[in-house]
Amino acid sequence: MISVDTKKKELIGAFKNGGREWRPKGLPEEVKVHDFLEPELGKAIPYGVYDLTSNQGWVSVGIDHDTARFAVEAIRRWWRKMGSARYGNARKLLITADGGGSNGSRCRLWKVALQDLAAQIGIAIHVSHFPPGTSKWNKIEHRMFCHITQNWRGTPLVSHEVIVNLIANTATKAGLKIRAALDRGTYPTGLPIADEELAAVNLKRADFHGEWNYAIHPTRNQT
């Protein structure tokens, strides 16, 4: 069972980062007075996967767009790097996610991309979306993302490498461990998903709020 979400996007550069951090007296870290995007540096899009059972997480730091393909690629990387070794005999994977954004319940590309992932890993993927207004129930928010924010408080995020290292060095006394990597892939927005492509997804809706709770099985529907 994993909890997934996109953390707040961050601008790359010598910008103010909220919070306090120890510095020698009289030697504050200098930052710029503005916080406008610098095209040559870009932005960082951290997409997280939190394993509720093992208290471990994975974060893909994207540089392009926060799309459903990017989100599912982060889940695939978690499975390849961490999940498959721990749960190699699993017969299904449960994902809890917010109802909107790149992993939204109404996003067609999300379902199509999950169908591809289910076929790749060979197990059924069950998804439960949180109802509107309840995104803070998502465990990743207060079991992983909050600790990342605390770890890099007061530190200017001057490069993607700095962000990846700060995320990967986040740990807690309760045993939280996180791995992170940069995703240099491109994820174009506005990709149309035809009705036929969506119909080919082997999706089975649950009896209770099937628009939020459903399973996607590895084999595609036959048309």
Q: What is the mean pLDDT of the chain?
A: 92
pLDDT tens per residue, range 108-144? 999 999 999 999 999 999 999 999 888 889 999 999 9
Longest dimension (CA), the chain: 70
What confidence score (pLDDT) does residue 154 get? 82
Confidence of residue 7 (pLDDT cuts 50, 70, 90): very high
What span, in angstroms and rounded, lies between the C-alpha atoms of 201 and 217? Answer: 8
User: Under CATH, which number does the domain 2-15+41-216 receive?
Assistant: 3.30.420.10
Q: How many CA atoms lie within 13 A of 208 on its CB side?
A: 5
φ and ψ of 35, to 5 deg: -135, 45
* Nearest C-alpha neighbor of 186 from the set 71, 68, 63, 96: 63
Q: Is the pLDDT of residue 43 over 80?
A: yes
The residues spanned by each domain of the chain are: 2-15+41-216
Q: Are 176 and 144 in contact (CB under 8 A)?
A: yes
Least confident among 40-44, 83-87, 117-121, 209-213: 40-44
Least confident among 8-17, 75-84, 200-209: 8-17
- Strand-pairing partners, residue 131, are none
Q: Is the pLDDT of residue 223 over 60?
A: no
**Taking the chain, what is the end-to-end CA distance rounded to the nearest angstrom?**
31
Q: Are 97 and 129 in contact (CB under 8 A)?
A: yes
What confidence score (pLDDT) does residue 27 get? 66
Q: What's this model's pTM, rounded to 2 decimal places?
A: 0.92
Confidence of residue 19 (pLDDT cuts 50, 70, 90): low
